Amino acid sequence: METEGSNIVVSRRKLMLEDWKHTLYLWRQNKLAMIGTVIIVFFIAIAVFAPLIAPYDPVKVDLSQALLSPSFEHIFGTDQFGRDIFSRVIYGARIEVGIILLVTVISGAIGIAVGITAGYFGGVIDEILMRITDIFLAFPNLILAMALSAMLGRGVFNAIIAISLVGWTVIARLSRAEAMKIKSLPYIEAIRALGAGNLRILLLHILPMCMSPVLVQLSLRMGSIILTAAGLGFLGLGAQPPTPEWGAIVSDGRSYLVDQWWISTFPGLFIALVVLGFNLLGDGIRDIMDPRIRR
Amino acid sequence: MKRLLDVSDLRVMFHTYRGTIKALNGVRLWLNEEERLGIVGETGCGKSVSALSIMRLIDPPGEITDGEIVFEGLDLLKMSEEEMDKSVRGKKISMIFQEPVSALNPVFKVGFQIAEAIAHSNDISMDEAYKKVPESLEMVGLDWKRSMELYPHELSGGMAQRVMIAMALAVKPKLLIADEPTSALDVTIQAQILQLLDELVRMGKNAVILITHDLGIASEFCDRITVMYAGNVIEVSDSQEVFQSPLHPYSKGLINSIPIIGASKVLRGIPGSVPDLVSPPPGCRFHPRCEFCFDRCRVELPDLREVKPDHFVACHLYSDDSKEG
Amino acid sequence: MEALIKVENLKKYFEIKKSMLSKPLQVKAINGISLEIPKGVIFAVVGESGSGKSTLGRVILKLIDPTSGKVFFDGQDITSLKSKDMIKYRKQMQIVQQDPYNSLHPRKLIKDIVGEGLKIHYKLSAEEIYLRIKEILECVGLREEHMFRYPHEFSGGQRQRIAIARALVLRPKFLVLDEPTSALDVSVQARTLALLCELKENFDLTYLFITHNLAVVDYMASHVAVMYLGKIMEIGSKDDIFSRPKHPYTVSLLEAIPSVGKGKRVRMIPRGEIPSPVNLPKGCLFHTRCVQAKDICAKKDPQEVEISPGHMCRCHLYS
Amino acid sequence: SNSPAATPKDSLVIAADTQILISLDPAVCYETFAAQITEAGYSGLTSIQPVNGVLTPVPCLAEKWDILDNGTKYVFHLRKNARFSNGDPVTADDVVFSFQRLLSINKSPAWLLEEIGLTKENMQETIAKQDDNTVVLKTKPLAPNVILSILGGSWGGIVNKKVVMANEVNGDFGEAYLLDKSVGAGAGPYEIVEWKRNDHILLRANKYYWAGIPAIKQIYIKDVPEATTQFLLVQKGDADVAWRVTTEQAAQLKNSPQKGIKLVTVPSQSNEYVAMNAQWGPFKDERVLQAIKYAIDYDAIIKSVMKGFAILNQNFIPIGYFGYVEMNPYKKDLAKAKQLLKEAGYSNGFEVELLTNPTQIRTDEAIIIQSNLAEVGIKVNVTTMPASEMYAKFRQQGHQMILAGWGIDYPDPDALAKPFANYKVKQLAWRTMWYDDYAANLAEKAGQELDQARRLELYRTLQEYWIKKSPFIMLYQPLDFWVVRDNVMGFEEAATGYSITFDFTKITKK
Amino acid sequence: MRLETFIIKRLFLMLVVLFGVSVVVFVVARAIPADPVGAILGGNAPLDVVEDMTRRLGLDKPLFDQFVDFITGAARGDLGVSIKSNRPVIKDIAEFFPATLELAIVAALISVLLGVPLGIFSAVHRNKLIDHFCRVFSILGVSMPVFWTGLLLLILFYYHLGWLPGSGRVDIFTVVPPRVTGLLLMDSLLAGDFGAFKDALLHIILPAVVLGYSSTASIARIMRSSMLDVLRQDFIRTARAKGIGRKLVIYRHALRNALIPVVTIIGLTFGGLLEGAVLTETIFGWPGLGRYIVNSLLLLDYPAIMGGTLFVAVVYSLVNLVVDIVYAALDPRMRV
Ligand SMILES: Nc1ncnc2c1ncn2[C@@H]1O[C@H](COP(=O)(O)OP(=O)(O)OP(=O)(O)O)[C@@H](O)[C@H]1O
Ligand SMILES: Nc1ncnc2c1ncn2[C@@H]1O[C@H](COP(=O)(O)OP(=O)(O)OP(=O)(O)O)[C@@H](O)[C@H]1O
Ligand SMILES: [Mg+2]
Ligand SMILES: [Mg+2]
Ligand code: NI
C-alpha cells in the first residue's frame, strides 16, 4: 500500500504539472496577460513590502519639507504637508489591496450565492432573486454607494463595503447564467441519479464550475472598483485623512495640478497602471480559461 | 478518365502547447473526374484536415508544411489567397459540412446565403443571383417560395442539409467535398439525403469526396475508398473490395467491429486506442495495436503501394521484401 | 418472467420558451407509454431523434417527474415518492449517458467522480472507498492509476467506461444506457458493447438500452420497442421486430440502414421530415411520412394491436 | 497659451460654484453666496457699508430713521426716489408686506427678525405703516447697531407687493416666483433676470436704481463647480472673476504674478473654529481644553493650509468689529500642553474623533491638528462627512470634537457673542454643551446695552473669560480672495465686508 | 407572443422593479444619520426653526406614511417638491436630464465608434502587435480616474492649446435656441442656428471624450471576444469555402453576428453613462442630472434623491427594454 500511496502522489503531481504547463503555455503565448501579471505581482509585492520600500512615514507631517519637486530624496516629490508622495503611494498599495480583497469576498460571495441559487432552482426563486438583482442594477450605482457609505459611516472600508453591496449584481447574473448552463449538463444529471441532494449538487458540483468565470469577471472589475473608490474620494466620501488612498491623493492634489503636478500625477499613474494590470490579467485569464482555446 | 485531383505527401501540423500535432503525415489521395471517393477512419485520423487542406482552409495554429495538391494540373498550395478565392473556392470546389444548422449563418435568410454563393461563382450581381436561387432550392426538393425567406434556425436538420447541398451544387463545382454530411441526421433522413446527393451528383457529373466514419455509407455511395489511420492513408481500393477482402490489419479490425443486422457474429473491435499525434509511435503508426506486428513495423513507415490492381495498401505485411523474409 | 420495471400510460409534456419574445409551447415528449421490463433482459428502445427515448429513460429513473402515469420499480410505485424516500431506490437504478464528453465533471478526479455515489449513500472510510473504486475500475477495464486523473485525459471510450463504473459502484439492479456508444468509433463501440454484455452477466443487471442504431439493437437486445414521436409504434421480442416487422415505420427504419459491402440497392425510405413534437400530426403519428398511408390514417389514431403474444403494433394496417 | 478672449466691457462674467444655491428670494435665501446675489437684486431699509474700516448700517431705501422709546421703536422714512426695477415706487406698504412675508414664510432667515422682536404672532402690531413713506417697527430693547445691521442683511430686502402678489400661487407669497428671478420685484441695483440651475445666473442693471444705474450692465454668474476650472477660465479670459479658487491657486498667483490677472483679498466675515464637547470624557476637564489650545500650531495652519490667507485671531469677534480686542494668548507650546495634560491625569493621552466636512481646507487643517495633538499623545481620528451630516451630528451634540466655520449674520459683536457664549439660544455653545451661565448672562447683557462704552467693556470682559474657559478654539479669521482680471476695477471695494455684504455697484471695467 | 404583449409584460416587470427601487432608496435615505432640515438651514439656524421646518416638510410623520405619500405621488407622476429648491422634483429633472442625456448620447457614440472598430481590429489581428495596441489603448480609458484625465485634458486642450472651450454647454454669450428637446445640439439644428450648433458641439467634445473613452474598453473587449467567438463558428468556414474573400467574410458574415452581444453591453454602458457622469459633470461644469442627485444626497433633499433615483431607474429600465428589442431585430433567432 505504501508504494502505491507514493505512486498516487507522483501521478497526481504530474497531472497538476500537466495542467499547469498548459496554463503556463497559454499564459506565455498571451503577452498582454503576462504584462498584466507582472504589474499585479509588482503591485502586490509593493503592498506586502511597503515598510521596507517606503523611505518615509506616509502620514508624518513635516511642513519644512512641503511641496518639494521630485528629487533624489523624494523621488515623487512631497505634498503640501511635506509628506513623501512615494511613501504615500507605496503604503497606499496596502489600502488598495485591502479594497480589492474586501470587494472580491463580499460581492463575490453575495453574487455567487444569489446567482447559483437562482440559476439552479429556477422558477419562482429565480424570478424573485432576479427581480431583486434588477432593482440593484437599475439603481444608480454611485448614488447607492454614496448613500450606503453615508449610512455605514465614513472610511474607505465602509465605502468599499458599500461598493460591493452594489457590485454583486454583475456577478449574480453571470453565475446564474453559468449555473443554468451547467445544471442541464449530463454530468449533473448523473450526480442527481446517484441520489445527491440539491445542496450537495449546488455546493460541490455547480459552485466550483462557476468560480472561474466569476474570478475573471472579478479581476476585470477590480479596476473599476479602485476607480469608484477614487471617485467617492473626489466627492469627499472615501478615505479619511490622512489615509494614503490613491484616489484621495489624486483628488487632493488636483488644485496643485498646474504647478505641483507631481502630487496628483504619480498616484494617478499608479492607479492607471494597476487598473490596466488587472484588466490585462482579467482579459488574459478569460482567454486562457476559454474552453474553446484551451480544449 | 481524367485525373482531377492528385494530393501527394501532404503534411499538416498543428502547433499547440503540448507540442506539434502531426495531423497529416504524407497523405496521398487521388481522384478522377466524376469519381466518388470515400474517406473513412476513426475520429481524429485526419479526414477533415485533409479536406480542409484541399480548400486551403487550415488556420493557425495549423500549417501545411509540405506536399502538393494538384487540381486540374495546378498546385493549389502555390496559389495566393486571392487566386484561391477567385478561381477555386466556391467555383471549382465546394464543400458541405457536418452540422448543417450551424454551418449556415444565423442572421441571413437562406435565399441570401445561396445567392451569395451563386453570385460569387458566376461573377454576377446579387440581384441576378437571386433569380437562380429558386432553381437550386427546387433541385433539392424544397418549396423555394417558403424556404428562401426562412432563417437557418427555422430549418430542421434535414432541410438545412438540403440547403447546404443546394448551396454547394448551385456553383456547379468540379469537386464536391462532403465532410460527414449525414452524421448529424437521423437514419431515415440520412437515407433521404444520400439518395438526393447521389442523384444530383450523377446529374451534375461532379466528382465527390465523401468523408464519413460510417463504412456502410461509404460502401453504398462511393466508387473507391480510402482508409485513413492517424494521419496516414493505409488502404485504398474499390469500395466492394475493401469490405470483402481488406488487406490492412486495421481495415480488417474496423470491418470486424461493425454490427450487421442478421449476421450473428461476435464484434471484436480493435484493442488499444488511437495514438497521440504529438508523439506518434515510430514506424507504422498502427503497430502498437496490430496483432501481426513485427520488428520492421516498429521502425519503418510503410509506403502506400499497389499490391493488387487498383488496391493499394501501406503495410509491411504486403511489401515485397517481407514476403521474401 | 417477473417485471423489474413496469410503466403505465406514462406521459411527459415539456413547456418550452424559445426566446423571450415567444409564447411557451408544449412539447409532448412522451405521450402515453406502457411497457414492462422483465428482470435480467436487455430491453432496447429505438427511434429517431426527438422521439422521446431519453425522456422515457429519465422519467423511469425519476430524474424528471412525469406529467401523468406511473412507474413501478420492483412492484413499488416510485412516481409519488418523495425525494427522501427515493434515496433507497437511487442505489438500485443508474444511468449511463450518451455524451462521454459532458457526462463527467471536468474539474474532478476520476476517483471523486466514481466515488461520489459511495459518499452519498454510505459512511465509509477513505480507504474502503478507495478499494471499492479500484475494484470497480478494474471491472470496467481501467487501472488504479487512472483514479488520479481528470476526465479530459481520457479518450471517449475510456470516459464511457468511467461513466459505467460510476453507475456500477452502487451495485444497481437496473441500468438505463442512453445511447452509450453513439458518440464512439465503431472499433471502440464494439469493445464497449462487449464490456456491457459481460458486466450484465457478472452483476446480474437489467438494461434499458436506448439507441438509434438498429444494428446495435440486433447485436445486444432481447426485447425491442420502436418509438416515434413519444409513442411506441411496435414492441416485441428481437425476433419479432427484426424478422417479422409489422409497422411501416419499423420497416423503413430497417431499410434505411446502409449495409456494408452490399453495394447500392433500392430502398423504401419514408418521405418528408419528422414532424415537430410541438405540433403533432392528427391521426396516426406516422401517416405524414408513411408510404402505405390510407385515408383513415390521417383521421384516427390507431389502437395497439397484439400481433402475437408480446408483439404489439400500432397501425391501421393491422386493426 | 494664447491670448485671452476678453468679455464685453459692460459685462462681468463670474465663474462660481452655484451648486450650493437654494433660492434667490430674500425671504428664503440664507447662504453666503446666494445672499450677495439677492442683495444685488433687492435693497433693504439699511445696507451695510464699511465706514472707516468698520462695517456699519447706513441708509438705503430708508433715507433716515428715528429711534424712540428707549430703542424699542424705529421710524423709517423712505427715500422718495426709490423704485423697483419695473419703475414702481417703493412704498411703506411694500416694506410692511416684505417683513410680514418673511415672517409668514418662516424659512431660514426668519429667526433674525425674531431676534429683534418681530414675530409671526405680533407682526400686525410691530410692523406698521405710518404713511405711504413711513414705516414703524416695534422691537425688543437691543443695541441699535444690532437692529439696524440685521435689517441690512439680504433678508431685509424689500419686495414689490404688487408684482409678488400677482405671481402668487397657492398662497406661497410669490415664493415660487422669486425663487429664481426678481423681475419687477426688487429695488436693488440689479434685476435678477434668470437663474438657470447649475448653468448660470443673469443679472441686469436696474434702470430705476435710486443711486444711479450701475456701470456694469450685465453680470453673468457661470456655474463652474470645479475650482481648478474656474481658475483656468479667468486665466484664459473667458471669465472676469473666479469666485472660489483654492488657497493653493491663490498662493501660486501671489508668489508668481501672472499677466492679466490679479488676486483680490479682503478679511472674511467668518471664523474657523474647533469645538470640543464640554461634556465628553476628557473635555470635562478645563485643563485638557487648555492643553489642546496650547498643542495646536496656529502659525502652521495659517501658513501651510491657508497659505497666509488668514489673520491670527483667537477671539470670536473679528477684526474691524466694534468690541474687537487683540487677544492671541495661545501659541504652540508642547511643554505646557503636556504639563496640563499630566495635571489632568491624561499624560498618556487619549483617543478622540474629530469631525469635519471634506473640503480641502478643512481636511488639511484636520491633518495638522491631528499631527499636532499626536505630539502630546492625543490620537485624533479624523472623520469627514458632508456638511449636512456633520451639522446634524453637531446639533444632536453627538460630536467629540468638530472643526467647522461660522459665517457672521450681521456686523455686530452680538452676532457672535450669542452663538459662541450663550448656551440659552441653543446655538454653538449649547451644541458643544458649554453650559456656562456667567458667559451666557454676560452675552445677553452686552447685546441689550445701549451705552456704547459700557457695551464695549462688557464684551471685553466676555472675551477674556471666553478665551480661557470656553471649549472653543478659534483658529483664525480667514481672508476671502478672488482671482479677477486686471481690467476689473473696484473689486476690492465691492468685496469689503464679504460675506455680509458685496456691493456690485462699485465694480467697473477698464 | 406579440411584440406589444412582450413590451407590456416588460413594462409591468419594470413597475415591480421600480417599486423595489423606491423601497430601497427610501430605506437607505432614511437610514442615513443626518437631518436634511439642518442641512438646508445651514449651520447657524437655531433649534426651534429646525423643528418647525421639519414639521412643515412632513418629516415628523411616521415613516410608513411618508413612504405611502411618496409612492402614491410617484404613481401620479408627482415626485414631490424638492426641499432645497422648493420646486417640483419632476420639473428639476426635466431641466437637468436633457443635458445628461445629450452628454451620454455623444459619449456613447464616441465609445461605440471607438470601441467597435478597435474590437474588430483586435480580433482580426489577434495576438499581433496591432491587437496589443488596440487593447491597451482601450483599456487605458477605463484605467485612468475620470477626474484626473478630465483635468489633464482641460489643461491641455483648453488652457494650453486653446482649441476647445473649458466649461458649460455653450458660451455665455451664445444665444441659446428655443428649447424643444432640451438637447442643445438638436435644438440648434431644429432652429437652423449653426453658430449655436458649432458652439454646443465644441463644448461637448471634451466631457464626452472623457466620459466616452472610459467606457470604450468594455465595448472593445466584448466586441473582440465576440468576434473571435464568431470567427470560430462553422458558418464562417462555410462562408470562406464559398470563396467570397476575407473582407466580406469578416464584415458581412462575422460582424453582424458579433454585434449581437455588443448591443447588450452598449445598453448597459449607456445606463452607466447616465448615472456615472457625476465627476465629468463637475469638472466641466455640465448642468446635468448626476450632479443634481449627488447634490441632493449631500443635502439630504429626500424628495429629490428619491425622485432622481427613481427617474434614473426608469430610464435605465427603458434603455434595457430598447436594447432587448434591438437585440431581437439583430438576431432572427430571438424573433417569434
Ligand atoms: N484546430 C486544431 N488545433 C489542434 N489540433 C487540431 C485542430 N484541428 C485538428 N486537429 C488535430 O488533427 C488531427 C486530425 O483531425 P481531423 O479533424 O482531421 O480528424 P477527423 O478524422 O476529421 O475526425 P472526426 O471523425 O472526429 O471528424 C486530430 O488529432 C486533431 O487533434
Ligand atoms: N428539458 C426539456 N425541456 C424541453 N423540452 C425537452 C426537454 N427534454 C427533452 N425535450 C424535448 O422532448 C422531445 C424528446 O426528447 P428526447 O431527448 O427524449 O428525445 P430522444 O429520443 O432521446 O432524442 P435523441 O436521439 O436526439 O437523443 C424533444 O423534442 C426534445 O426537444
Ligand atoms: Mg472531422
Ligand atoms: Mg436522447
Ligand atoms: Ni452514427
Ligand 2 atom at minimal distance to the Cα of residue C55? 18
**Percent of chain C at pLDDT exceeding 90:** 37
pLDDT band for position D2 (cuts 50, 70, 90): very low
Specify the pLDDT at position D353: 93
pLDDT at D159 over 90: yes
pLDDT band for position D333 (cuts 50, 70, 90): very high
Specify the pLDDT at position C236: 93
The pLDDT of B218-236, averaged and rounded, is 91
Report the residue of D19, D230, D244 to disrupt the E interface, i.e. the one with the largest count of E CBs within 10 Å. Answer: D19
pLDDT at D400 over 70: yes
Specify the pLDDT at position B323: 47
pLDDT band for position C18 (cuts 50, 70, 90): low
Model confidence pLDDT, tens digit, residues E104-137: 999 999 999 999 999 998 888 887 888 888 888 8
Q: Which ligand is nearest to the CA of C67?
A: 2
| Ligand 4 center from residue C178 Cα (angstroms) | 7
Q: What is the 3-state secondary structure (H, E, C) of A100-121?
A: HHHHHHHHHHHHHHHHHHHHHH
Would the CB atoms of A143 and E312 count as touching at under 8 Å? yes
Would the CB atoms of E328 and C22 count as touching at under 8 Å? no
pLDDT at A9 over 60: no
Chain E residues whose CB is inside 8 A of the D235 CB are: 159
pLDDT band for position A10 (cuts 50, 70, 90): very low
C252 lines ligand 2 (CB under 6 A): no
Model confidence pLDDT, tens digit, residues B114-124: 999 999 988 89
Nearest CA to ligand 2 atom 16: C52
Report the residue of E242, E248, E334 to disrupt the B interface, i.e. the one with the largest count of B CBs within 10 Å. Answer: E242
* Closest-CA residue to C72 (of C106, C35, C40): C35
| Ligand 4 center from residue B212 Cα (angstroms) | 22
Would the CB atoms of C186 and B189 count as touching at under 8 Å? no
Specify the pLDDT at position C123: 87
Q: Is this complex's ipTM strictly greater than 0.85? A: no
Q: Which ligand is nearest to the CA of C63?
A: 2
Q: C189-193, D61-65, D413-417, E3-7 — which is least confidently predicted?
A: E3-7
Model confidence pLDDT, tens digit, residues B285-308: 998 888 888 888 888 888 888 888
Chain B residues whose CB is inside 8 A of the A22 CB are: 17-18
**Percent of chain B at pLDDT exceeding 70:** 97
Domain annotation for chain E: domains and CATH numbers: 88-288 (1.10.3720.10)
Model confidence pLDDT, tens digit, residues C203-260: 999 999 999 888 899 999 999 999 999 999 999 999 999 999 999 999 988 888 887 6
Q: A75-84, B203-212, C244-253 — which is least confidently predicted?
A: A75-84
* Closest-CA residue to B194 (of A209, D494, D423, C257): C257
Specify the pLDDT at position C66: 92
- Cell numbers at residue C249, please? 415505420
- Cell numbers at residue A269, please? 499613474
Specify the pLDDT at position B324: 41
Model confidence pLDDT, tens digit, residues D36-86: 999 999 999 999 998 888 888 999 999 999 999 888 999 999 999 999 999
Pocket of ligand 1 (CB under 6 A): B 14, 16, 21, 23, 41, 43-49, 61-62, 213, 277
Pick from A150, A242, A255: CB nearest D227: A255
User: What is the distance in angstroms between the Cα of E324 and the nearest Cα belonging to chain C?
Assistant: 9
Q: Are C141 and C165 in contact (CB under 8 A)?
A: no
Q: A166-180, C11-25, D19-33, E313-327 — which is least confidently predicted?
A: C11-25
Specify the pLDDT at position D66: 93
Nearest CA to ligand 2 atom 5: C14
Would the CB atoms of E44 and D22 count as touching at under 8 Å? no
CATH 3.20.20.140 matches A26-60+95-294:
no
pLDDT at A287 over 80: no
**CA–CA separation, E252 vs A280, rounded Å?**
30
Which amino acid is located at E330 in the chain?
L
| Ligand 1 center from residue B23 Cα (angstroms) | 7
Specify the pLDDT at position C176: 94
Would the CB atoms of C166 and A194 count as touching at under 8 Å? yes
The pLDDT of D422-442, averaged and rounded, is 90
Query: Do at least 3 CB pairs under 8 Å connect D with A?
Result: yes
Ligand 1 atom at minimal distance to the Cα of residue B50? 18
Chain B residues whose CB is inside 8 A of the E261 CB are: none
pLDDT at B276 over 90: no
The pLDDT of D84-107, averaged and rounded, is 91
β-strand pairing of C231-237 with C304-308? unpaired
Model confidence pLDDT, tens digit, residues E139-175: 888 888 888 888 888 888 888 888 888 777 877 777 7
| Ligand 5 center from residue C213 Cα (angstroms) | 7
The nearest alpha carbon in chain A to C164 belongs to: A190
The pLDDT of C36-52, averaged and rounded, is 91
pLDDT at D1 over 50: no
pLDDT at B176 over 80: yes
Q: Between E75 and A47, where is the model more confident?
A: A47
Query: Mapping DSSP to helix (H, G, I), strand (E, B) and coil, where does residue C268 land?
Result: coil
pLDDT at A14 over 80: no
- How crowded is residue A34: how many other Cβ atoms within 10 Å of its Cβ? 15
- Cell numbers at residue E326, please? 434591438
The pLDDT of A180-198, averaged and rounded, is 88
Nearest CA to ligand 2 atom 28: C50
Q: Are A111 and A218 in contact (CB under 8 A)?
A: no
- How crowded is residue A220: how many other Cβ atoms within 10 Å of its Cβ? 23
The pLDDT of B207-217, averaged and rounded, is 90
Which amino acid is located at E310 in the chain?
L
Which amino acid is located at C4 in the chain?
L
Chain B residues whose CB is inside 8 A of the C269 CB are: 188, 191-192, 195
Specify the pLDDT at position E85: 74
| Ligand 5 center from residue B296 Cα (angstroms) | 36
**Percent of chain E at pLDDT exceeding 90:** 7
Q: C91-95, D172-176, D311-315, D438-442 — which is least confidently predicted?
A: D172-176
Cα-only R_g, chain B: 21
User: What is the distance in angstroms between the Cα of D203 and the nearest Cα belonging to chain E?
Assistant: 13
The nearest alpha carbon in chain A to C115 belongs to: A194
- How crowded is residue A4: how many other Cβ atoms within 10 Å of its Cβ? 12
pLDDT at D92 over 90: yes
Ligand 2 atom at minimal distance to the Cα of residue C212? 25
Report the residue of D20, D371, D481 to disrupt the A interface, i.e. the one with the largest count of A CBs within 10 Å. Answer: D371
Nearest CA to ligand 2 atom 10: C29
C97 lines ligand 2 (CB under 6 A): no
Q: Across chain D, what does the average pLDDT equal?
A: 89
Which amino acid is located at A30 in the chain?
N
Specify the pLDDT at position A7: 40
| Ligand 1 center from residue B45 Cα (angstroms) | 7
Pick from D179, D225, D395: CB nearest E285: D225
Chain E residues whose CB is inside 8 A of the B97 CB are: 234, 237-238
Q: Between C265 and C313, where is the model more confident?
A: C313
Query: Do at least 3 CB pairs under 8 Å connect E with C?
Result: yes
Model confidence pLDDT, tens digit, residues C29-40: 998 999 999 999
Specify the pLDDT at position E2: 61
Chain B residues whose CB is inside 8 A of the C254 CB are: 261
Q: Output the furthest CA–CA distance in chain E (Å, rounded).
A: 84
Nearest CA to ligand 2 atom 29: C50
Q: Across chain E, what does the average pLDDT equal?
A: 82
Ligand 2 atom at minimal distance to the Cα of residue C278? 29
Specify the pLDDT at position A294: 47
pTM reported for the whole predicted model: 0.83
Would the CB atoms of E87 and D176 count as touching at under 8 Å? yes
pLDDT band for position A261 (cuts 50, 70, 90): confident
pLDDT at C309 over 80: yes
Ligand 2 atom at minimal distance to the Cα of residue C51? 21
Specify the pLDDT at position A295: 41
Specify the pLDDT at position C187: 86
Q: Between B55 and A232, where is the model more confident?
A: B55
| Ligand 2 center from residue C29 Cα (angstroms) | 6
pLDDT at D202 over 60: yes
Q: Which ligand is nearest to the CA of C186?
A: 5
Model confidence pLDDT, tens digit, residues B56-82: 998 888 899 999 999 998 999 999 988
Chain B residues whose CB is inside 8 A of the A21 CB are: 17
Q: Are B53 and E241 in contact (CB under 8 A)?
A: no
Chain B residues whose CB is inside 8 A of the A26 CB are: 17
Q: Between A281 and D214, where is the model more confident?
A: D214
C46 lines ligand 2 (CB under 6 A): no
